[in-house]
Structure 1
Amino acid sequence: MSTTTKLQTTPSQTLPHHHLSHVLSISFDHYGRRFATASYDRTVRVWDLNAEGVWMGSSLDNTSGGANNEWQAHKGAVWDVCWGHPEFGQVLATAGADHAVIIWEEREGGFKSLATPERNGGFLDTNVANAGGAATEAASRWVNKATLTDARRAVKTVQFAPRHLGLRLASGSADGVVRIYEALDTMNLNHWKLDGVIEAEVEETTDNEGVPDRGSEAVSSNENMGVSSLSWCTGRFEPPTLVVGCSSGRVSIYRYMDGQRSWVEAIRLPNHATSAGVPRGVLDVAWAPNVGRSYHLIASCGKDNQLKVHRVKRSRGGKGDADGASSSTLVYEGTEVLDQNQSWRCQWNVTGTVLASSGDGGVVRLWKSDFQGRWKCVSEIVGDMAGAEASSNQ
């Protein structure tokens, strides 16, 4: 007998996002009272929850109270957006198809930008406003503090590190490389250093003379290469650790080793399956927050229509620091396939006990393990699709 229940979200608020193309990423802030949307139309919008429980933020929405929360962020599609911890202020990082990661900081007033430039061919055109003043000039609250351009191809994913690791972020790009950056001064976000590089999926080829070639041309010729998703381990007593999902279907855990002063692959988790030799690709990965467990849980979903939960045991041995962090090792214990439906995104709750997955059809499924450790879908949240269609037709 199935324990799945279907929940209709009532009351619900349908938000016309006003982007001119697909929304590629949504990210909530630490407290869940703000979220940012990133779009293929090169723009980012920030939404705020007011005292009445209504989300506001689009400059085209008369209830939003202003145009300060939308801007053109990149010269190409904005593939991902994420929030920094509020301890470091109101900080956003965006990943773009223009090979860049950009750090944005919210400032109150005094900074001029074109908040609502004219539309040109479905995209924002800032040149129109500069030439003829056709757009309205307003005080912009979001300022470009730093542009990180080390990637050779589009940056697909970006995520800030847990607060205890300082103001760091990791980015994954289509060249198969994960790059870790650290702010040199948390009070001045203009300066960042490249603090680590992980070649997660750089495939060796040979030139005409048989010499290994790891250049950008070899990488770009392989359409299945690239980092598609990543997630930090939030454990305070663990070394810096990341799980990385690749377009080839590969899922790997990387850890920073003090002795080697470099990132190394600790565990390679089961791949997402291939079909007829064609890699299906990983769409999302999520590392569960750990609240007193002796093991870690990592979720991954891919184009093979599988949602997986991987269990990795923590073990400590040998000599290390007082908290045992340097002697911590990871041991792979097993993987359970939860769903055979297409899942595009997966995310854990704050305690790491409930996994949410979203896919086609406007359905969010919530998963939880029973006392025997078996994962089951405990509820399905169905959005107000009729309301969304009506809003889009207006």
Structure 2
Amino acid sequence: MVSVINSVDTAHEDMIHDAQMDYYGNRLATCSSDKSVKIFDVRNGSQTLQADLKAHDGPVWQLAWAHPMFGCLLASCSYDRRVIIWKETNGTWIKLHEYSNHDSSVNSVCFAPHEFGLILACASSDGSISIISSTGDGTWDSKKITNAHSSGCNAVSWANAIAPSSLVEQSGRQLVVKRFVSGGCDNLVKIWKESEDGQWVCEHKLEGHNDWVRDVAWAPSIGLPKSIIASCSQDCSVIIWTNDGTNNTWSSTILYQFKDVVWHVSWSVTGNILAVSGGDNKVTLWKESLAGTWVCISDVGKGQGQLRAAS
């Protein structure tokens, strides 16, 4: 049985859309329809408000922490079409960079693996995906994948910098190609790869959902023999996509058919446990068995104090 070790009263004035722990688990960032981003120190079971950031003009949908090698950086995206990268210096949070080159709501942000540098992917309802990167001299470059999804993009998630063992080149070199996955309102999951000339191309188009794809998550694959992606949808399903290196093809397995829309999927650090949350007000944890099937190992309902083992 897994126990809830802490709860945080955020004092947000409207619905909370995302909550993210930093790399070390010392800080919790939350964002809300009240247009604010809040940062709490949650060490030793306490909760101390460190910052209340109010620069967005609309609901803030999602947050992403950068790797600590770049300092204390947090990205936020909003219905106001903007992405803001915040930086903490000596206890004070400032706006480090603002990106406003989307024509509609920005729904998802995700930092690339630190091995690639300080790079952020941003997904928008205008159907495009932006890749913004720090040049190291205080300026930022940006590239945009226009029409990445025909009806809007809801989520992005990066692949690891080092590919699974099955995808290592015959020469023995580790693959370090930049890749990420996206999910959109066209019911598609797409895998994007950076080409040798620096352009982003769609490497795979995965079809399996019959309604909007709400979230995607590329599993950490260090030490694993294959690549794994989870996607969830308005169609109430979660699909597990796997690539074992055979002909570079992806196969799909329906994890479970839920009774309500599934909003989010998130992998554990080791990539072997998947958390799923949806409109049924439950969070369920899933793990692949030795037989290759996915089983629910625990679930928690709204207002419950503990995750209970599922029957």
Contact 1:38-1:79 at 8 Å conserved across structures = yes
1:56 maps to 48
CA contact (8 A) 1:157 1:172 kept: yes
**Equivalent residue number for residue 276 of structure 2:** 357
Counterpart of 1:90 (choices 60, 72, 75) is 72
Q: Deviations over 1:32-52 (max 9, x none)?
A: 22121111111000121233x
In structure 2, C-alpha distance between the alignment counterparts of 1:231 and 1:382, rounded to whole Å: 26
C-alpha distance 9-294 of structure 1, shift in aligned 2 (>3 A)? closer
Corresponding residue of 1:113: none
The one of 157, 162, 180 equivalent to 1:231 is: 157
Q: In structure 2, what is the Cα distance between the partners aligned to 1:373 and 1:265?
A: 29
Q: What is the alpha-carbon distance in structure 2 between the residues aligned to residue 198 and residue 291 of structure 1?
A: 31
C-alpha distance in 1 between matches for 2:255 and 2:114: 31
Highest RCO, 1 vs 2 (Cα 8 Å, sep ≥ 6): 1
SS of the residue aligned with 1:95?
strand
- Native 8 Å contact 2:128 2:144 kept in 1: no
**Residue in 1 that maps onto 2:104:** 153
Structure 1 residue 99: Cα displacement: 1.2
Do structure 1's residue 307 and structure 2's residue 307 form an aligned pair?
no
* Whole-angstrom distance in 2 between the partners of 1:35 and 1:386: 19
Conserved 8 A contact 1:153-1:174: yes
Q: 1:199/1:330 Cα in 2 relative to 1: closer, same or farther (>3 Å)?
A: farther
Q: Deviations over 1:104-153 (max 9, x none)?
A: 000225xxxxxxxxxxxxxxxxxxxxxxxxxxxxxxx2101111111111
Report what 1:335 is aligned to.
252
Give 1:363's aligned amino acid: K
Q: Mapping of 1:233-382 within 5 angstroms?
A: 233-236=159-162, 237-258=175-196, 260-273=197-210, 280-314=211-245, 330-332=248-250, 334-341=251-258, 342=260, 343-382=262-301
What is the TM-score of this pair, normalised by structure 2?
0.88
Distance 2:63 2:69 in 1: 18
Following TM superposition, where does structure 1 have runs of at least 4 consecutive aligned residues deviating by more than 6 angstroms?
Answer: none
1:350 Cα deviation from its structure 2 partner: 1.1
Instruction: Name the amino acid aligned to 2:123.
Output: G
Query: Is the partner of 2:12 in helix, strand or coil?
Result: coil
Which structure has the larger Rg over C-alpha atoms?
1
Consecutive unaligned residues of structure 2, counting only runs of 5 or more, are 163-174, 307-311
Identity of aligned residues (%): 31
* TM-score, normalising length: structure 1: 0.70
Kindly provide the CA deviation profile for residues 252-292 of structure 1, in whole angstroms up to 9, marking residues without a partner as x.
1010111x43111111112311xxxxxx2111100000122
SS in 1 for 2:276: strand
TM-fit CA distance, 1:294: 2.8
Q: Which runs of 5+ in 1 are unaligned?
A: 1-6, 58-67, 110-140, 203-224, 274-279, 316-328, 388-394
Write the deviation string for residues 315-367 of structure 1: whole angstroms up to 9, x where unpaired: 6xxxxxxxxxxxxx8322x1111121132211111111111111244422111
CA distance in 1: counterparts of 2:207 and 2:19, whole angstroms: 27
- The alpha carbon displacement at 1:385 in A equals 4.2
Q: Distance in 2 between matches of 1:198 and 1:368?
A: 36
Establish whether residue 9 from structure 1 lines up as the match of residue 8 from structure 2: no
Partner in structure 2 of residue 43 of structure 1? 36
One-letter code of the match for 1:100? R
Length, aligned pairs only: 292
Equivalent pair of 2:116/2:161 in contact (CA under 8 Å): no
